[in-house]
Amino acid sequence: MNKNFKVLALAGILVFGAAGTGSVYAQKKSKTTKGTTPTTPAAAPAAAQKKEGIKPFSEVITAKARTTNGLFKTHKVDDKWYFEIPDSMINREMLVVTRLAKAPVGVKVGNQQYGGEELNEQVWKWERRGKQVYIRVPSYSTRADANSDMYESVQNSNLAQILASFEIKAYNKDTSGVVIDVTDFYNGDIMAIGATDQIRKAYKVTMYDATRSYIDTIKTFPINVEVKTAKTYRAAESPTDSSNGAVTFEFNTSMLLLPKIPVKARIMDSRVGFFGQSQIDYGSNAQKAERTAYIHRWNLVPKDTNAYKRGELVEPVKPIVIYIDPATPKKWVPFLIQGINDWQVAFEAAGFKNAIIGKEAPTPQQDPQFSVEDSRYSVVRYFASDIANAYGPHVSDPRTGQILETHIGWYHNVMNLLRNWYFVQTAAINPDVRKAQFTDAQMGELIRFVSSHEIGHTLGLPHNFGSSYAYPVDSLRSKTFTDKHGTAPSIMDYARFNYIAQPGDGVTKLHPQIGEYDKWAVKWGYSWIPGNKTAEQEKEILDQWTLKNAGNPLYFYGRQGTSLDPRLQSEDLGDNAMKASTYGIANLKRILPNVEKWTYQKGKDYSDLKEIYTEIVGQFNRYMGHVATNVGGLSENFKTYDQKGPVYAYLPKAKQREAVTFFNKQLFTTPLWLISNDQLNKFDNGVLLNRIKGVQTNTLGNLLSASRIARLLDNETKNGTAKAYTLPELFTDLRSSVFVAGRADAFKRNLQRAYVDRLENLMTKENELPVGFPVDYAASYGLTPINVGLSDIRPLVRAELKTLLATTKARAAAGDAITKAHYEDLNIRIKDILNPKK
């Protein structure tokens, strides 16, 4: 190991992003001597330095050095790189972000495969002790105010890990700083600033190859240092040519100085959607270890505070500026910029004008120092990728939640996703999309829509899956209504395009826009509150704002990921999934017979026909998912003690039964309209009909999942059979369609077997969560736990199986050969379930 640099520990990596983890620190002032810090002794005289083995500055940083000034002075002497760290930067916290700068074709690790994608975030503190300088990586999972009795205890249990150690090579000329050699550090195999564990595992990395690695550039700026490296790893699998036995990446590591005085944080509220970070605060007055959380937001302060107080729109001292990657195709740049600028109207609700601005990146002639990897700049990065996606992360100060910059990921093939969605969801009412390729203007508007959505994430806003429920289904068939309101009050919902509007409605506004909820959320999160109030005092004011909007669906926030509440779903529209999906299916029935005609391309094969046809089946399946959540569904409305009414309430019995009636009509009665043989014989080799069967059986299994049944039983216990939709009623309603009288076709026979298989599963498997899985967490996302063997499930399932035993016995006695064989087989299966062989 090189004597100049030693990696002592790989610190626990702190990741701050869509998940919103991280926390606030504990800091205490210490008495200092002029020109020193608590851990930084004054520089020794020259003679003492030499005796200590520390060379004179001129012997280390020779006349050959190429020097740049910035946060740290950097010196390059031959093939060595040096940092000159001033005393004033010792113990200052710095956010360090490592990104891919360039990657080989074919890398297969999600969100870690294109230039610009983030790999790691840490906070570093450069600490000096004697002849050594250390990099420490502090943790922010706990805190206590410096004046709290718990402060010392928190410090004793929150030791910052040491990432690396450096020998001091020299003092600078005026002894106000030290010089260290960082060559081996940045050119070494350190996971925090190189390939992640996921990348190493994916390519079976065996070792780091320093002979094929180097530091490309180190650039220093007033508040940041940017280091670009090329690193090669010996690997058993290469993304392009395994005969190389290696894989090479270019990395960019940004070290950004955090504010000396952290900005004031804003306390999170579960009723308003923001990404955030939490920590255990041992300094609070609560008689327990209390968890607190702060939202992620940019620091916007009005230039003219007096004008702001008068209610005038005021520009911020430092607006949010987001640049477009120079690698972006020129024709899409204006649409990406417009998607950014669309948020200006939301910031006006918070009292700011021109608060967010999209710009083209400067050319090298305009600004030779500009780099898309530079952590001072926020950028939309454009990836040459066949992935159909885009995402909007942000980098925040882990002490306060202050957003510092963003690098939005934009994959080229997101256009294919947009084209397919727009076609499948609107072609019934939108003649302009009935073609194989959209015009640039059409695609540009869709890009603008997605750009606005991703920018919302970079402002701290998560998905609001409850927003699309705000509008009545029939309102989305109104041209007047949709022209004004779009399809949802928030662009942060996954409320895609208007699949509800029918031919003749005249609706032309087909996608969401920056809506009422978005304006409200930005007002809540970004309004500047005068009076130098504490975060707790501001919370009291914000609580009053929230209470005024409580109960209004326009301002409702619904979290992502739970399957409890039917309002909180992806890709849905309107306040009734059964009604909305019925309209959606009517439009799919109009589109499907015309797909071949509308996707025609001279000289092309039928791949587009296959893609769109498959998308239609997928859209149909999506509607089934929207409806299924209503069975055993709970509404979730987060509240505080000063709000009346329940947080959780089961859906009315009639609404749940309406959902099952929908399935009996639209799904469990074979959807023969999905089978267009004239088109299927152009591309299908025996797969698509099984996909339709899969939609039927998967939905049936979803309806009869143990978690859903657990909620049906819970509802019956709490509210009685008069109000609750019960498990016996679900069995009866499903059986009336799945085992309807008459000859069962291949789809129905498949469905009946799936029904019996699902009942067998409930009779034989416990469906318990994995050992150690947090039960409350699982339940909050719809994985309601239940001990099947000790519950009422098996007695009720046994009764249902006995009913089916009689039905299958009777039907096996009549009918054609396949009918007899089918019911005889089911009858034997049921007997085996009821009387298992030992």
Q: Tell me which amino acid residue 91 is.
A: N
Strand order in the sheet with 276-281: 142-143, 276-281, 290-295
First-residue to last-residue Cα distance in the chain: 64
Residue 457 is encoded by which pair of tokens? 């994430």
Whether the CB-CB separation of 293 and 276 falls below 8 Å is answered with: yes
Cβ atoms within 10 Å, residue 216: 13
User: How remote is the C-alpha of 449 from its chain's centroid?
Assistant: 18
Residue 756 is encoded by which pair of tokens? 């019996």
Number of H helices, E strands in the chain: 25, 24
Quote the DSSP letter at residue 110.
Answer: T
Helix (H) or strand (E) run with residue 315 in it = none
Q: Which residue has the tokens 């299966």?
A: 829
User: How remote is the C-alpha of 382 from its chain's centroid?
Assistant: 18
3-state secondary structure of 161: strand
Residue 120 is encoded by which pair of tokens? 């790691």
The structural domains of the chain, with segments of one domain joined by +, span 5-257, 276-382+404-410, 611-620+677-838
Residue 33 is encoded by which pair of tokens? 């001597």
In 172-316, DSSP assigns E strands to 177-181, 205-220, 224-235, 246-257, 276-281, 290-295
- Phi, psi of 485, rounded to the nearest 5 degrees: -115, -10
Whether the CB-CB separation of 119 and 200 falls below 8 Å is answered with: no
Report pLDDT for 291. 67
The stretches in the chain having pLDDT less than 50 are 1-4, 6-42, 287-288
Residue 560 is encoded by which pair of tokens? 């992502």
CA distance 627 to 154: 49
- Phi, psi of 578, rounded to the nearest 5 degrees: -70, -45
3-state secondary structure of 734: helix
CA distance 623 to 515: 24
CA distance 68 to 76: 9
Q: Which residue has the tokens 């800091």?
A: 27
Dump the DSSP string for 21-45.
Answer: -------------TT-BTTBPPPPP
CA distance 100 to 737: 55
Whether the CB-CB separation of 14 and 123 falls below 8 Å is answered with: yes
Alpha helices in 75-196 (DSSP H): 151-156, 183-186
Whether the CB-CB separation of 210 and 190 falls below 8 Å is answered with: no
Report pLDDT for 175. 83
**CB-side neighbour CA atoms (13 Å) of 680:** 16
3-state secondary structure of 254: strand
Dump the DSSP string for 606-622.
Answer: SHHHHHHHHHHHHHHHH
CA distance 604 to 754: 40
3-state secondary structure of 445: helix
Cβ atoms within 10 Å, residue 613: 25
Q: What are the pLDDT digits (tens) for 501-514? A: 999 999 999 999 99
CA distance 372 to 278: 30
Dump the DSSP string for 479-547.
Answer: HHHHHHHTTSS-TTS---S--S--TTS-----S--S-HHHHHHHHHHH----S---HHHHHHHHHHHHH
CA distance 172 to 618: 66
Q: Which residue has the tokens 């979290």?
A: 559
User: How remote is the C-alpha of 680 from its chain's centroid?
Assistant: 36
Helix (H) or strand (E) run with residue 198 in it = helix 197-202
Cβ atoms within 10 Å, residue 120: 19
Quote the DSSP letter at residue 407.
Answer: E
Whether the CB-CB separation of 788 and 794 falls below 8 Å is answered with: yes
Report pLDDT for 140. 80
Report pLDDT for 307. 97
Closest among 22, 10, 12 to 395, alpha carbons compared:
22
Report pLDDT for 815. 84
Q: What is the dihedral of CA 380, 383, 387, 390, to 10 degrees?
A: 0
CA distance 13 to 268: 24
Q: Tell me which amino acid residue 551 is.
A: G
Q: Which residue has the tokens 């959320």?
A: 521
Query: Which is it for strands 80-86 and 73-77: parallel, antiparallel or unpaired?
Result: antiparallel
CA distance 293 to 269: 9
Q: What are the pLDDT digits (tens) for 441-459? A: 999 999 999 999 999 999 9
Quote the DSSP letter at residue 600.
Answer: -
Helix (H) or strand (E) run with residue 641 in it = none
